[in-house]
């Protein structure tokens, strides 16, 4: 690394023609004269939260043994290449999610709070853990937090046993009365990350120009002349990723337009037709947002609680939700497990992307923590015990993977939330119904 007298600001942006492109962490951003050739820039810490609906077949989820994650369970098998970066935590519960509904499974996952039983607008929950993190580690970024999902729908009214749909629609709440809607449309997420002005202005600009990157090419050329070879390579790799995501969004829009020979008002233009393609594109956008330090806190609803999506691509033609009411039918349970494994395999795509994206002296995975799990345990019973929960990432050197922490007694999920906040540099004595922290993780 070449040390110069003046460091490039971390929040350096490329601007032009209504487009804004943030940059990844570069060696040139290390404060002048504070590093040597072998000392990387200090990494920032990031937190991500992924929600999957309707629990899991816990018998096929739970890894064998305790302490070491030597062997993986059938559902977790797709993550075998990444097990050294994984920690599975067994026997966690959400006591405040009862009376046991889909609405409270979703709402309690990040809040660990009891939702007010109401079908109206007087809903009340609690501030979610991601928003607590965003207030501490996200205030210096363009977006304090990023809320994403997969369902292009807006359901209102009563959704589940007297609970308003707002509890099922939103993972993130910035206060007990303020839910934060997610975005599922890749184009809108892309524009939020890289565009300027109102959504209408950004859309108009993007339609007029072939590529956002073409509009900042003069800034790119100028910056490249000022950087060392290592930083030039990082920018080339990053901008190639941005252009690839943009290209895939444009392909999805083109394909959607060609397919819409009959009216289909529920499927907006630009959303990939295949579920897996949509998920991967949303994961790619997350990686870009983290790499450029546009945000440090992300939530992602991989599928909506109560989802009736079927997964023909893996041989499951029945809708997900009805299958989970399996009545102990082995055939149905096996299909639920197949869906669980499929979701896990898609999470593996994100882990691989984070793992192969360099940053400082490691990778984005080394400097991030992602919680993956559900607010429901056994979907046939609608219980909230023995939740399928795991954590991926290195937490900037504060997290050791390759472990299975198996609690003998039921332990509040809030304990793990509190611990991950600590790993990210957010210090709190308690959160929701926590009874302490996960000591096994604090010892690192």
Strand partners for 316: 311
Q: Which of 35-49, 88-102, 309-323, 359-373 is the least confident region?
A: 35-49
Distance of CA 246 to the CA centre of its chain: 20
The predicted structure's pLDDT at residue 159: 73
Length of the chain: 444
- pTM (two decimals): 0.82
Over 101-128, what HEC string results? CHHHHHHHHHHCCCCCCCCCCCCCCCCC
CA dihedral 136, 289, 350, 173 (to 10 degrees): 40
Of 418, 415, 420, 440, nearest to 428 by C-alpha is 418
- Tell me the per-residue pLDDT of 338-364, one tens digit each, with 9 for 90 and over: 999 999 999 999 999 999 998 888 999
Q: Tens of pLDDT along 10-25?
A: 555 555 545 566 666 6
| Mean pLDDT for all residues in the chain | 84
Burial (CB count within 10 angstroms: exposed 0-12, middle 13-18, buried 19+), residue 74: middle
Dihedral, CA of residue 244, residue 248, residue 254 and residue 256, to nearest 10 = -170
Going from the N-terminus, what domains does the chain have, and what CATH number goes with each? 1-37+191-270 (no CATH), 43-184+275-305+341-442 (3.40.720.10)
- The closest alpha carbon to 32, from 45, 24, 41, belongs to 41
Query: CA 125 → CA 20, 73, 103, 229, 411, distances in Å?
Result: 36, 34, 12, 51, 21
Q: Which residues pair with 15 in a beta bridge?
A: 20
């Amino acid at each position: 690394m070449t040390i110069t007298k003046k460091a490039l600001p971390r929040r350096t942006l490329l601007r032009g023609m209504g487009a804004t492109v943030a940059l990844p962490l570069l060696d040139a951003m290390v404060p002048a004269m504070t590093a040597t050739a072998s000392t990387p820039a200090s990494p920032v810490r990031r937190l991500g939260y992924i929600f999957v609906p309707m629990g899991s077949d816990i018998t096929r989820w739970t890894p064998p043994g305790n302490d070491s994650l030597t062997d993986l369970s059938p559902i977790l098998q797709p993550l075998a290449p990444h097990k050294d970066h994984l920690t599975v935590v067994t026997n966690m519960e959400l006591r405040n999610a009862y009376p046991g509904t889909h609405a409270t499974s979703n709402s309690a996952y990040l809040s660990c709070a009891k939702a007010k039983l109401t079908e109206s607008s007087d809903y009340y929950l609690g501030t979610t853990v991601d928003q607590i993190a965003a207030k501490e580690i996200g205030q210096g970024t363009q977006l304090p937090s990023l809320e994403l999902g997969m369902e292009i729908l807006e359901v209102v009214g009563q959704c589940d046993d007297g609970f308003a749909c707002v509890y099922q629609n939103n993972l993130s709440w910035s206060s007990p009365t303020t839910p934060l809607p997610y975005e599922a449309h890749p184009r809108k997420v892309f524009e939020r990350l890289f565009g300027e002005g109102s959504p209408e202005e950004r859309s108009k600009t993007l339609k007029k120009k072939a590529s956002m990157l073409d509009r900042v090419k003069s800034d790119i050329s100028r910056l490249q002349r000022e950087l060392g070879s290592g930083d030039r390579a990082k920018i080339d790799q990053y901008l190639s990723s941005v252009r690839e995501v943009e290209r895939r969004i444009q392909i999805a829009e083109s394909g959607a337009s060609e397919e819409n020979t009959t009216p289909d008002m529920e499927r907006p233009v630009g959303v990939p037709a295949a579920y897996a393609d949509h998920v991967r594109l949303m994961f790619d956008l997350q990686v870009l947002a983290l790499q450029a330090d546009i945000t440090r806190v992300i939530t992602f609803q991989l599928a909506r609680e109560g989802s009736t999506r079927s997964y023909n691509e893996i041989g499951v033609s029945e809708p997900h939700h009805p299958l989970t009411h399996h009545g102990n039918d082995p055939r149905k349970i096996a299909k639920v497990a197949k869906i669980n494994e499929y979701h896990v395999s898609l999470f593996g795509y994100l882990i691989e992307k984070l793992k192969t994206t360099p940053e400082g002296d490691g990778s984005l995975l080394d400097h991030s923590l992602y919680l993956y799990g559900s607010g429901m345990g056994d979907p046939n019973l609608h219980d909230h015990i023995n939740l399928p929960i795991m954590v991926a990432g290195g937490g900037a050197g504060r997290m050791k993977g390759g472990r299975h922490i198996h609690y003998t007694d039921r332990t509040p999920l809030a304990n793990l939330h509190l611990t991950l906040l600590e790993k990210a540099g957010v210090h709190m004595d308690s959160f929701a119904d926590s009874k302490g922290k996960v000591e096994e993780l604090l010892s690192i």
